[in-house]
Structure 1
Amino acid sequence: MQQQPFALPTRTTLVVMGVSGSGKSDISQAVATTLGWRHIEADQFHPQENVERMRAGIPLSDTDRVHWLDALIQQMQAAQAAGEGFVLACSALKLSYRERLRAAVPGLRFAHLHIDHATALQRVGARPGHFMPTSLVDSQFATLEAPDGEPGVLCLDGSQSRSELVEQVCAWVRPSATAVGMAELVGLSAAEFDSATKGEGAHLTGEPIYSGGLARLFDRLTDGLMAVLMGFMVLLVFGNVVLRYAFDSGLAGAEELSRLAFVWLVFVGVASSMRRGELMSFSLMRDRFPKAARLLIDSLSWLLVAIASGLASWGAWQQLQFGWGIASPVVGYPLALAMLPVLACMTVLVLLALVQLVNVWRRPGRLPGALANVTVD
């Protein structure tokens, strides 16, 4: 059975397209990170036969691309089924390819990164080890049917800097100016800003620490657990109120169990928020230092977070062992259950802080647009 297409609210689906070397992979990843959407890299869904053909310098035909396009459609519809916006990095060179994608995802929008032949050759040639050789650049331009004039298409000069392209694409796909203004009031971290330069404000939160399938699984688990805990608390408290006022009775242990659920809710929420980069961040002083000093400050900060979380995790483990022999006064559950979420949360925070410490040095800055990480399909 094939999943029936349906449309998310407008402006939540986007394809960043262009010939090989246009920078669509790098720009689409940055746009997805900025908007908090899922990123889909079309290169990863080519059948091995297609990869071997391109590696041998043989251009792909329409028939070669059918199964590839179908795989991309499945990925887009899976993102929609999960209620997520997405950004797809895909060449989408022909009108027939774009129409096939539009038919599967109504309201799909395209941002076309246009570059000239010389720039494409330079960028593709600067990627050693990729399966797309420079000999296929000519076929890319021969196959390209420019989307100029098609509805729902934004055409951009792909030779612009990375930050300029990301800003233009994000401004185009975001809702109306009124909605954007409201979103910026709710979350000031939506737009990139250095508080030491403009003086207009500062980041209140940061970017997600990591992304991908593992991040989505972690979010689903924590979101589901928080929903269950919140529902459990509401049922206990509301049910106890109804029993007291309507039946002159009460639920023994309701307060104990609701407090226990609240402890779990708080610490699960802390771990989830840290992964998403939603914990409050104050960087007014840090942003005034030069780049090298900021790297050291960020490294020291995340190292301190890891150490503090590790100490808290060790303390929670000691309390957990001690608490198994002590029962709560009313319900009689082991008090160690109240320390279990603390141990789990602090352990997760140690891992996230170490990941972010590595990211500080892995991604200290962005490459210029002409030499950014670009791939082809």
Structure 2
Amino acid sequence: MAEQTDTSKKAQPKPAKGKTADTKSRTARQSHPARNRFLILLFLFVAVLAASAYLLMQLATMQGRLDELAGENTRLSETVAAQTTTIESMQTQIAEPAEPAQMDMTPLREMEQRLRQETDSLQRQLGEVSAAQRNLQAQPELGWKIREAEYLLNLASLKLQLEADVAGAIVLFESADRALADAGRDGVLYIRQTIAEEIAQLRALEQPDREGVYFRLESLAGEIAQLDLLLSLRESIATGDDTGAETAADAGFIASGLEFLGNVFVWRRWDERPEFELVAGQEEYIRESIRLQIEQAQLALLMRDTALYRASLQAGLEQLQSYTGAGGGSAAGLAAEFSELLMIDIAPELPVLNQSLNQVGEFLAGEPQ
């Protein structure tokens, strides 16, 4: 029997390794859901526990706040009760007749007395000011006339320096002299004497007639615009030939020799003068150039620029003589007009008259205010 048993044990086949692995895998899969359910239950328990703790904390906080509100309500009730009592007490006091207050009138009487004294003092001062004003009206103070004279003298000096207006400066000097006379001060007599001397200096100046010079330049420009340059040049040459012949007739020995040769030979004079021609448009250009010089001289006259005035007229005269000849002819009168205008001093030097102004300033500085 024992042999059979051993034989049967040997005869039983051993389980395969693959089946054992499958069995283990199923066992592991069956254990995973159980572990997951445990973790979920644990998480839910923790969450419920945390929520319960939070709710308990909120409940405790709310209970504390309710206790505070209850205490505050109690305090407010007490305050309202106290105020009600106070109001009732005040109403009772108002309803009762007030006793007359005893006041000390001594400070008020003292204040009234001081105010009366100040009022009397102000009335006295007002009377003094009114009396002084009446005195001023009876004897007016004209010291401001001296300052007016100073202003007029300063204006006259500026008019001479900036505008070279002698006539206007004389008027201002005379106005300043009248202002000093109206001031009624004996101490300004020497200033008036100085003003009279300065007025005499201005009247002694020879001032050019700028308006007349301007009109002469305007007339000269009109004559230049109508000038025939070619005809004037021919006339100038003809005048020069006639003058040369007269000079040769009085030349002594040379004249006798020429007369002898004239008896031997037959001299023949040209019947026609040589023709002078200008390029087309050149004559008009020359006239316009001279006119521009004249207009520039007019501008210099208005600006009182002596250098520019003379330079412009000199340039115009040179152009006229260059294209019309230096002798006679119709342009000789225009050249003479140029020369006369060149001799006019359009901006003579003016004196500096500040002595009277300085004297007025010194007088005002030393006068008591």
TM-score using structure 2 length: 0.18
Higher relative CO (Cα under 8 Å, sequence separation at least 6) belongs to 1
Query: Which structure features the higher share of helix residues?
Result: 2
Structure with bigger gyration radius: 2
